[in-house]
């Protein structure tokens, strides 16, 4: 895993530890982390992760600051 990817994974793990997040959001974030940590084609992993995160940001129970963090993670993933 390259340096940028490990930073993204660390950001996702940090976000999943937020106590204000609903359980279903935490589970989805952990799923995205699993996608990114698995071996395989980078472009496929990034594409799948972005798709999953885009689904997450539409959750009406998500706090605005958490949504902003997820948008930032999407931006980082798009640079890969």
Helix axes 3-16, 23-37, angle to 10 degrees: 160
More confident residue, 9 or 2: 9
12 burial level (CB within 10 Å; 0-12, 13-18, 19+): buried
Domain containing residue 7: CATH number: 1.20.1440.50
How much is the pLDDT for 2? Answer: 81
The Cα–Cα gap between 19 and 78 comes to: 27
pTM, entire model: 0.88
Q: How many structural domains is the chain composed of?
A: 1
Q: Predicted confidence band at 68 (pLDDT cuts at 50, 70, 90)?
A: very high
Residue 13: which domain range?
Answer: 3-79
3-class secondary-structure state, position 34: helix
Report the share of the chain in percent with pLDDT over 70.
99
């Amino acid at each position: 895993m390259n340096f940028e990817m490990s930073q993204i994974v660390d950001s996702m793990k940090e976000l999943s530890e937020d106590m204000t997040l609903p359980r279903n959001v935490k589970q989805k974030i952990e799923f995205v982390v699993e996608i990114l940590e698995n071996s395989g084609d980078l472009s496929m992993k990034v594409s799948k992760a972005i798709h999953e995160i885009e689904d997450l940001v539409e959750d009406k129970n998500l706090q605005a600051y958490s949504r902003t963090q997820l948008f930032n993670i999407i931006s980082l993933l798009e640079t890969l």
